[in-house]
Amino acid sequence: MKDNFNTNTNNNDEWLTPPYITKELGPFDLDPCSPIVRPWDTAKNHYNINQNGLYLPWGGRVWLNPPYGKETFNWISKLADHKMGVALIFARTETIGFHKEIWEKANSVFFFKGRLRFYYVNGERGGTANAPSCLVSYSNYDTMIIEKSIKNNKIVGRLVKL
């Protein structure tokens, strides 16, 4: 099994969450992986690359769209330990990190139907992602919010409770 998460073919490190997702699942208290310049807020508080949110304290409900690559599962591990929030990652279910940090620790995983279209930091919509995406919840509360969003047809896919 591999542990590399990156399928980025455009050499772009900043892919923003489609705004309807954080709007539907929020509000969030912290986004520890926010771009320096962002077209919209994803949480009440934001850490960017200059602050390195992986090493700062997290409080409240966290929205996590981590950098995709070798560090992805370090971010996921921190969210698993924090136990309050939702992560948006590629559905790389075969990776060692997915088995260790998600299958063994998460409350639920929501698999989107189809592939998402992320956004650039200038607010423009990008192309279709190179891989399927999923939401990972580490609490009953966050899973409940995802379930409500499914019921209201705000997000489309399949929820797996763990």
Total domains in the chain come to 1
Q: Is residue 4 situated within a structural domain?
A: no
pLDDT for residue 8 is more than 90: no
Domain coverage including residue 65 = 19-161
- 35-52 pLDDT per residue, tens: 998 999 999 999 999 999
3 within a domain of the structure (yes/no): no
- CB neighbour class for 146 (10 Å; exposed up to 12, middle 13-18, buried from 19): buried
pLDDT at 68: 86
> Does the pLDDT at position 12 exceed 80?
no
Q: Is residue 108 part of a domain?
A: yes
Contact 15, 69 (CB under 8 A): no
Residue 111 in any domain: the answer is: yes
pLDDT for the residue 11: 52
pLDDT in tens, 73-86: 999 999 999 999 99
Using the predicted structure, report yes or no on whether residue 9 has a pLDDT greater than 50.
no
Interatomic CA distance for residues 151 and 86, integer angstroms: 18
Phi, psi of 132 (to 5 degrees): -70, 155
Cα 103 to Cα 87: distance, rounded to the nearest angstrom: 14
Q: What is the pLDDT of residue 13?
A: 62
Q: Which of 10-14, 39-43, 93-97, 153-157 has the lowest mean pLDDT?
A: 10-14
Give every CB contact of residue 12 below 8 A, 6+ residues apart in sequence.
120
Over residues 109-127, the mean pLDDT reads 94
pLDDT at 15: 80
- Whether 7 is covered by a domain: the verdict is no
Q: Is the pLDDT of residue 3 over 80?
A: no
Q: Are 58 and 44 in contact (CB under 8 A)?
A: no
* Residue 12 maps to a domain: no
- For the cut 60, the answer to whether the pLDDT of residue 26 exceeds it is yes
Report yes or no on 1 lying in a domain: no
Task: Tell me if 68 sits within 8 A of 5, measured CB to CB.
Answer: yes
